[in-house]
């Protein structure tokens, strides 16, 4: 924890002094040390990611905010939404034993719970088409029990957890909506189309999805690819903690299908 605090202090100081006194939660804040930060496995640690921003005058006296990325043609822009609607420690994970084998966006650290707007749904649908998905895309709200998920029936459900929680305590929580769709369609979808997927919800299936998405999803920034790779590693670590195993990336790599997909 002192390690991340030191990185946050350096990152915050540079932004404050050389980037117009920007702090975490503002569109111009540059999280350039994010790839170096250690992972948190609890909500309390995740809240400390705010770093110096929570101490600044620009972070108090009103509602805190989160950045929701909505990119068009590879040009990222940001919208600000009410942070009070986000729950950093909320668990919105996979529901085991679903009848349609839906590959859900596992949200162990908590993702966005604010209802999506129509323009965001349209942007996500457009990007899904760019990824080669020509099946039905439907929006289903999170408060009705839906998660963003790809079904091996070639059906994509977009829910409110498509968007990230920038204060989440795991890479899965913080990954952008484009990275999340890459996990579902480039990771799960292409593996299913090629007949190379594993049992839905299994460690191999989820690690393969994030690893493939980090390599082959178009229009991602390097940080987004890093978040997907980190998500794959964190899934292995969580599996080890829950099952008393000692698996590493090298133990699984040769079993995964990481080649580009071709029709």
**Is 154 found in the same domain as 53?**
no
Q: Which domain holds residue 24?
A: 1-62
Q: Is residue 77 part of a domain?
A: no
Q: What is the pLDDT of residue 23?
A: 61
Lowest mean pLDDT segment, chosen from 55-64, 153-162, 175-184: 55-64
**Is 113 found in the same domain as 11?**
no
Q: What is the pLDDT of residue 241?
A: 94
Q: What is the separation of C-alpha 231 from the centre of its chain, rounded to a whole number of angstroms?
A: 8
**Is 193 found in the same domain as 101?**
yes
**Is 91 found in the same domain as 56?**
no
**Is 28 found in the same domain as 156?**
no
Q: Is residue 96 part of a domain?
A: yes
**Is 131 found in the same domain as 93?**
yes
**Is 200 found in the same domain as 140?**
yes
Q: Is residue 190 part of a domain?
A: yes
Mean pLDDT of 84-88: 33
Q: What is the pLDDT of residue 169?
A: 81
**Is 115 found in the same domain as 153?**
yes
Q: Is residue 16 part of a domain?
A: yes
The span from the CA of 104 to the CA of 142, in Å, is 12
Q: Is residue 259 part of a domain?
A: no
Q: Is residue 143 part of a domain?
A: yes
Q: What is the separation of C-alpha 247 from the centre of its chain, rounded to a whole number of angstroms?
A: 23
Q: What is the pTM of this model?
A: 0.63
The span from the CA of 80 to the CA of 94, in Å, is 28
Lowest mean pLDDT segment, chosen from 89-103, 155-169, 209-223: 89-103
C-alpha pair distances (Å), 149 with each of 93, 120, 142, 162, 181: 11, 16, 12, 9, 9
Q: How sure is the predictor about 92, in pLDDT bands with cuts at 50, 70 and 90? A: very low
Q: Is residue 31 part of a domain?
A: yes
**Is 221 found in the same domain as 124?**
yes
Q: How sure is the predictor about 26, in pLDDT bands with cuts at 50, 70 and 90? A: very low
Percent composition of the chain: helix, strand, coil (DSSP 3-state, to 5): 45, 10, 45
The span from the CA of 199 to the CA of 79, in Å, is 37
End residue of a domain, out of 45, 62, 79: 62
CA-closest candidate to residue 174, choices 216, 111, 123, 132: 111
**Is 116 found in the same domain as 173?**
yes
Q: What is the pLDDT of residue 82?
A: 32
Instruction: Write the pLDDT tens digit of every residue in 233-250.
Output: 999 999 999 999 999 999
CA-closest candidate to residue 102, choices 201, 196, 172: 201
Mean pLDDT of 84-99: 29
**Is 159 found in the same domain as 43?**
no
**Is 245 found in the same domain as 136?**
yes
Give the count of domains, the chain.
2
Structure tokens at 153: 């029936």
Q: Is residue 262 part of a domain?
A: no
Q: What is the pLDDT of residue 135?
A: 93
Instruction: Write the pLDDT tens digit of every residue in 30-64.
Output: 667 766 766 544 444 444 444 433 343 333 222 22
Place of tokens 């790809």: 150
Q: 46's torsion region: left (phi>0), alpha (psi -120 to 50) or beta?
A: alpha
In 10 A of CB 1, how many CB atoms?
Answer: 10
């Amino acid at each position: 924890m002192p390690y991340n605090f030191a990185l946050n202090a350096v990152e915050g100081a540079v932004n404050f002094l050389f980037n117009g006194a920007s702090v975490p939660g503002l569109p111009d804040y540059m999280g350039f040390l994010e790839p170096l930060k250690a992972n948190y496995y609890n909500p309390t640690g995740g809240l400390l990611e705010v770093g110096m921003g929570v101490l600044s005058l620009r972070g108090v006296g009103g509602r805190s905010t989160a950045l929701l990325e909505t990119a068009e043609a590879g040009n990222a822009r940001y919208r600000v939404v009410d942070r009070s609607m986000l729950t950093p420690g909320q668990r919105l994970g996979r529901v085991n034993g679903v009848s349609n084998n839906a590959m859900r966006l596992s949200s162990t650290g908590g993702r966005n719970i604010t209802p999506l707007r129509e323009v965001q749904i349209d942007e996500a649908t457009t990007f899904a088409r760019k990824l080669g998905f020509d099946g039905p895309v439907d929006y289903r709200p999170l408060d009705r029990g839906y998660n963003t998920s790809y079904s091996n029936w070639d059906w994509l459900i977009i829910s409110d957890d498509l968007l990230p929680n920038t204060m989440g305590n795991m890479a899965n929580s913080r990954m952008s909506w484009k990275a999340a769709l890459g996990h579902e369609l480039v990771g799960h979808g292409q593996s299913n189309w090629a007949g190379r997927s594993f049992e839905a919800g299994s460690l191999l299936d989820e690690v393969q999805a994030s690893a493939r998405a980090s390599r082959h999803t178009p229009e991602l920034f390097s940080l987004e690819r890093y978040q997907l790779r980190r998500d794959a590693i964190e899934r292995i670590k969580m599996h080890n903690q829950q099952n008393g195993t000692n698996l590493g990336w090298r133990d699984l790599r040769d079993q995964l299908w990481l080649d580009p997909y071709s029709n």
